[in-house]
Amino acid sequence: MDATQAVILVGIGLFGGVWNAIAGGATLFTFPALMAVGLPPVVANATNYLALLPSNAAALPAYREELRGVGKTLMPLMIVSGVGAIIGSMLLLVSDPDFFVLLLPFLILLATCLFAFGNTLRTWLLNTMGESRGNTAIYTGLFLSSIYGGYFGAGLGFILLAIAQLMGFSNFHTANSIKNLLATSFTILSILVFGIGGLIAWPQAIAMMVGSTIGGYAGGRLAKRVSARYLRGAVITFGAVLSIVYFVRAFG
C-alpha cells in the first residue's frame, strides 16, 4: 500500500464513518474502496469489518442516555446477535461469498421496507401472534440477520434499525443507539474469527480505521442534531438507492 492509497482509504473511512454512525450502509463505499487498492473480495470483506469498527464504537458516547434508558433489554439482543455473527463469520472462512453477494440487494430492500413500515408491522405481529410469539419472531430475525452480518455486512445497519423499531423503539435516536451497540459488539466477534483465519489486511484496515474513528464520533454528534423525521427520510431514500445499485451490480 502506497501513500496515495493510504490517503484515499483514510478519506473513504472518514465519510463512511459519518454515514455509518448516522444511518448505516457505509460498506457501499468502503468495501469497493478496499478492492480498488488491490485486496481480493474475501479479504476486503474481512478487512472492512475492522476498518469500520470505530465508526459504530465511536458513536456510542453520544448515545449514553438512550442506551441507559433501554436497560436490561440490551443483553439478550447482544447474545443473540453475537452467536449469529460468529456463525456467519465462520461460514465466510469455509465458503464462497458470491451467493450472499447475489442476495444482498434483496436483503437491503427488505431492511429498508422494514424500517419504513416497522411500527405498522410490529403492531400487526403482536396483535396477530401475541407478544411472546411476536418477540420470538423478532429475535429469530435478529439471529438470521446477524449470521448474514457476520458473513457480509453491507446494509446490515438498516436491518438492525428495523429490528429495533419492531421491538418498539420507535424513537430514531434510541433505535440508532441500539444499532450501533449491536454492530460494535458482534463486529468485534467477527474480527476475532477473521483475525484467527488470517483474512485481515492490517495496513489497509488501520488506514481506514483512522478515518472511520473520526467520522464515527462526528456522525454520532451530528445525528442527534438533525430532525428524526429528516433522518428517517434519508435512511429510507438511501436504502432504496442502495438496493438499486446492488441489483444493477448483481443482475445488470
Q: Which three cell numbers stand for residue 112?
A: 429498508
| Whether the predicted pLDDT of 243 surpasses 80 | yes
Residues 6+ away with beta carbon under 8 Å from 203: 1, 6
Mean pLDDT for all residues in the chain: 82
Residues 6+ away with beta carbon under 8 Å from 103: 148
Q: Which three cell numbers stand for residue 31?
A: 468495501
- What domain range is 186 assigned to? 3-251
What does the DSSP 8-state code read for residue 117? T
Q: Which three cell numbers stand for residue 241?
A: 438507492
State residue 133's pLDDT score: 62
Closest CA to 60 of 73, 70, 46: 70
State residue 113's pLDDT score: 84
| Whether the predicted pLDDT of 198 surpasses 80 | yes
State residue 205's pLDDT score: 94
Number of domains the chain is built from: 1
Q: What is the pLDDT of residues 1-57, one digit of tens each?
A: 888 999 999 999 998 888 776 766 677 778 888 988 989 888 888 899 889 887 767
Q: How far apart are CA 153 and CA 108, in angstroms?
A: 10
Closest CA to 192 of 106, 85, 99, 105: 85
- The pTM is what? 0.76
Can you tell me whether residue 130 is helix, strand or coil?
Answer: coil
Residues 6+ away with beta carbon under 8 Å from 142: 77, 80, 81, 84, 160, 163
| Whether the predicted pLDDT of 72 surpasses 60 | yes
Q: How far apart are CA 19 and CA 36, in angstroms?
A: 20
Of the listed ranges 74-78, 171-175, 186-190, the one predicted with least confidence = 171-175
State residue 23's pLDDT score: 63
Element (H, E) at 146: helix 131-151
Terminal-residue alpha carbon distance, the chain: 32
